[in-house]
Structure 1
Amino acid sequence: MLKKILRGAGALALSGGLIASGAALAAPAQAVVAAPAATPVYIAKPITVSKVETDGNFYKGGVIPVSSKGCKTNSFYLKTVYNNATYVPNFRYSADIYRNGKKVKTVTFKNNTGIHYQAFCPKVKIARYGTFQLKNIKVAGSYWVKDSAGNWMRDSSGRIVTKSFSYGIGKDSSKFAYKGAVDGSLYGKKPAGSSKRTFTAKLTFFSDKYQKWVKYNPSGAKLQVKSGGKWKSIKSLKFKKGKAVYSLRASSKKTYRLYVPAKSYALGGATSGFKL
């Protein structure tokens, strides 16, 4: 009787469940787990500048002498340091040029370089002699974005994601100056048998305004004598039409020279000493 029941039964209920005879069991439904969204990693400063140089860095005291007419070109160089965590496909620097403490021009550097060539033409008043400085330097551009796994992020079209940036670099150039060259001479004469000595000094200066050598009448020029191994001033000379004359008496030969102080627009210096 038991065999018949087992053979003839189409299904057997056990503990309230149903097992289908001869049929495969259906697998339970599985939840689909979405991949975590890529997290972009942004960089505050993809570019920094370690050094700001101008042509003035290669002249003593940052003073560039001018002794010929025409425009003078000054090179500005920003030593760029790239952040290794990204790639910067394009960037551009801009900066302000100051003359004697006042902003006179904004310049833009060549794309993707830290180099700019600026012509200073004395025909333009703001480019005449004075002390200059490159200030308020900024950089702007774009960089490639990586995700937190260190991979380049891409958009739906497969292109690498970029992000724009713009900020100040926090560095100024050292000051540099354009000044006119000065040419001078000192002559002396002493009549035979006399203690009197007469000195004649002449000065010229290369003018930015007139673009030529002109007679120079500076204040503070002095006749000096060498005493105890040092130069000592004995007379402030008053120049008129680029010339000054002065006489003195001395009992013995001494070494004399002409000293001319530097100005904001002109170089300074001294003539070679000579005995009289």
Structure 2
Amino acid sequence: MMKKSLLQTLAATAMTAALGLTLMGAPAQAASRPVDVTKYTISDVTYTKGQLGCTQTPVKATIKKSSAYKYYSVQAPVTRNGKLLTTLFFSDRTKKNVEKLQTCPFQGTGKFVIGKSKISAYSGDYRYSWMNKTDGTTKTFYVRGKGYASLLAKRSGKKVTFQSAAKYYSTKKYTNLAYNPKSAKIQVKKGSKWVTLKTVKFSKGKATTTATLKSSKAAQFRLTFPKTTTVTGSTSKVVKK
């Protein structure tokens, strides 16, 4: 029994010593994330009439890196509606952590997402590695066709009749098409502020609206509508009547 107990004690001592050597041999940062993407920065993309080719948009990755790991790579997928379009690659050799993302009209408009990414990291002497780990940081941006608003007005005393029109650039047809924006408003300028006069409902890209004002004095008007996930917002030129 004493012999068996002695053997167990020696085995436990050897295991403890080996574990101690292992912990001493690895850098303290190895227990945490050696490379961490904290943010992606990109501007929304807008297509306009006459723009047939693809667009190159800068994407900046903000990356925190442990000094214990000299080399790293980040593979950031770019998706639309869950479908992979391309992959951005960042590494220790990427200048200022900026890459160019190519988007093309045939890919469509709407919501695009960068991430989640796969990250690998290596120490300078390759003794330590951190392979194919998932980084949960994502960035949503939007690709839109440009919206266009126009307004005409006719006045008779206090009554004003407005002819509104709206179009947007279609990446499918490569031209401007009639557009029925929601929450479109005709506004009148009062002092230094624009105040909503009428909410406009469009049909086939056009709308006719009348308004009766308190005064027959000339005023300034404009048409405006907000952006959506696929079309930019727009404000018409000012009309004075």
TM exceeds 0.5? yes
CA distance in 1, matches of 2:150, 2:33: 57
Q: Structure 2 residue aligned with 1:48, among 35, 45, 60?
A: 35
Contact in 2 for aligned 1:70/1:211 (Cα 8 Å) = no
The secondary structure found in structure 2 opposite 1:123 is helix
Contact in 1 for aligned 2:34/2:121 (Cα 8 Å) = no
The secondary structure found in structure 2 opposite 1:190 is strand
2:207 corresponds to: 244
Structure 1: tracts of 5 or more residues without a match: 1-36, 57-62, 146-160
Deviation at 1:119, TM superposition (A): 1.6
Q: Structure 2 residue aligned with 1:77, among 60, 64, 80?
A: 60
Q: Identify the structure with the greater helix proportion.
A: 2
CA distance in 2, matches of 1:244, 1:140: 56
Q: Structure 2 residue aligned with 1:131, among 111, 121, 127?
A: 111
1:257 corresponds to: 222
The secondary structure found in structure 2 opposite 1:240 is coil
2:143 corresponds to: 178
Provide closer, same or farther for how the CA distance between residues 201 and 143 of structure 1 changes in structure 2, counting only shifts above 3 A: same
TM-score, length basis structure 2: 0.71
Contact in 2 for aligned 1:133/1:172 (Cα 8 Å) = no
Contact in 1 for aligned 2:74/2:118 (Cα 8 Å) = yes
Deviation at 1:256, TM superposition (A): 1.7
The secondary structure found in structure 2 opposite 1:144 is coil
Deviation at 1:223, TM superposition (A): 1.7
Q: How many pairs align?
A: 211
1:94 is the counterpart of 2:75: yes
1:275 is the counterpart of 2:234: no
1:65 corresponds to: 46
1:29 corresponds to: none
The secondary structure found in structure 1 opposite 2:228 is coil
Contact in 2 for aligned 1:136/1:168 (Cα 8 Å) = no
CA distance in 1, matches of 2:37, 2:115: 15
Deviation at 1:51, TM superposition (A): 4.5
Deviation at 1:205, TM superposition (A): 0.9
Question: Counterpart amino acid of 1:76?
Answer: V
Deviation at 1:186, TM superposition (A): 1.0
Deviation at 1:109, TM superposition (A): 0.8
Q: Identify which range, 38-47 or 69-78, moves more after superposition.
A: 38-47
Question: Counterpart amino acid of 1:223?
Answer: I
2:167 corresponds to: 204
Structure 2: tracts of 5 or more residues without a match: 1-20
Task: Please say which structure displays the higher CA radius of gyration.
Answer: 1
2:231 corresponds to: 266
Deviation at 1:141, TM superposition (A): 4.2
